[in-house]
Amino acid sequence: MAPEAWVYLLRCRDGSLYTGWTTDMDRRLARHQAGTASRYTASRLPVELELALPMESRTGARREEARIKRLSRRAKLALVYERRRVTATRSSGAA
């Protein structure tokens, strides 16, 4: 079953991180990359998707977005690193 929503982190050209949520990840990322999704990211192009978390509901996505926005930069980067490590471990077949 496809997720109802996504929470995502983008890394901007200046190295800053942007957190948002959406119901259509591909469309939202395309809008960010085109400079039409957010004034913040539009002034810091290009942007790269660092993390996309599938969520069961829009409400859950908004709550997770708010939680992540309250994190320090260091904690946000640790979240990105941890999710990548878990994904890499799963894809390599390691326990």
**How high is the pLDDT of residue 87?**
67
Per-residue tens of pLDDT for the chain, all 95 residues: 788 999 999 999 999 999 999 999 999 999 999 999 999 999 999 999 999 999 999 999 999 999 999 999 999 999 999 988 776 666 666 55
pLDDT score at 61: 98
In this predicted structure, what is the pLDDT of residue 86? 72
What total number of domains does the chain contain?
A: 1
- DSSP reduced 3-state for 39: helix
Tokens of 6: 């996504």
pLDDT at position 84: 81
Domain of residue 67, residue span: 5-92
**Which pair of tokens denotes residue 26?**
């591909």
Residue 77: CB atoms within 10 A of its CB come to 16
CA distances from 20 to 13, 71, 88, 91, 93 (A): 17, 13, 24, 26, 31
Residue 86 sits in a domain of what CATH number? 3.40.1440.10
